[in-house]
Amino acid sequence: MLTLNTANTTIMSSDKFRELFYSHQGKLIHKWDHYLDIYEKHFSKYIGQEINLLEIGVSHGCSLQLWKKYFGDKVNVYAIDINPQCKKLEEEKIKIFIGSQSDERFLQQVIREVPALDIIIDDGGHTMNQQIVSFENLYLKVREGGSYLVEDTHTSYWHEFHGGLKKANTFIEYAKNLIDSLYEGHVPDKRKIVLNEITKHINGISFYDSIVVFEKVLRPQPFHIQKGIDMIESYRPTELKQPSLLMKVKERFFGRVDTFKANNRGKI
């Protein structure tokens, strides 16, 4: 599943998080308005359930409290921040780890100390290295069916965060490359795509203005079947499938890979 969305897209959902945010009177919290609908779309299914959430970036601690209010008494909230002062913001059902999200040894320590997670939200430093290192270390800690959400990905276009339009190694370009892994079953030359334990467990990537959401599910091998009775002779448009000279040379030396036939389970 790949979904492309804009800030103008209407997302049908309840407004619980929006109501909590706009009625808030306590500690400082700072959010883009359209984030509230994205949270609702991806997180509302967890309301009232026993879940574990990790947020990178504590700031004044308000968002951690809002997650408790939003999900209910059964949620356990964990957080990471580099500022030692954030430790004093711990409270019942909120545990805070102090360290850098780009420090792999620290992240591995966090992994050992927290249970399996249903949701990870990266609202940390927003630099390219921080986002990528955190994702690569923490993603597999998410349970099957859970979500990994990276916020403020507009920094991939800002030079002060080491970004830039189409610049290699930004988080957006990194995430774009992971799209190819969703099509693994259809790519003849798999040497050209990223394939590892992480990509096996990405079943969908949703791109929004400034947010990317990954759906953590072991992706099944794609297959297709045919059912029913042939009624007409199918039209086969050969004019669109004439092999180029380069394709003919490759087929001669390496053989032809037909992923459509390979994934066909026939007619039932």
User: What is the pTM assigned to this prediction?
Assistant: 0.82
Say how far apart CA 71 and CA 48 lie, in whole Å: 5
The continuous run of DSSP H or E covering 251 comes out as: helix 245-254
Strands (E), the chain: 2-4, 52-56, 76-81, 94-98, 117-122, 142-151, 202-208, 211-216, 224-226, 264-267
Q: What is the pLDDT of residue 235?
A: 79
- Digit-coded pLDDT (tens) for 30-66: 887 898 999 999 999 999 999 999 999 998 878 898 8
- Digit-coded pLDDT (tens) for 140-194: 999 999 999 999 999 999 999 999 999 999 999 999 999 999 999 888 888 889 9
Domain boundaries, the chain: 2-216
Chain centre distance of CA 119: 10
Q: Which CATH number fits domain 2-216: 3.40.50.2300, 3.40.50.620, 3.40.50.150, 1.10.645.10?
A: 3.40.50.150
Asked if residues 213 and 42 have their Cβ atoms less than 8 Å apart, the reply is: yes
Asked if residues 55 and 64 have their Cβ atoms less than 8 Å apart, the reply is: yes
Does residue 1 carry a pLDDT above 60? Answer: no
Q: What is the pLDDT of residue 49?
A: 94
- Digit-coded pLDDT (tens) for 195-251: 999 999 999 999 999 999 999 999 988 888 888 888 888 877 776 666 677 766 667
5-27 mean pLDDT: 66
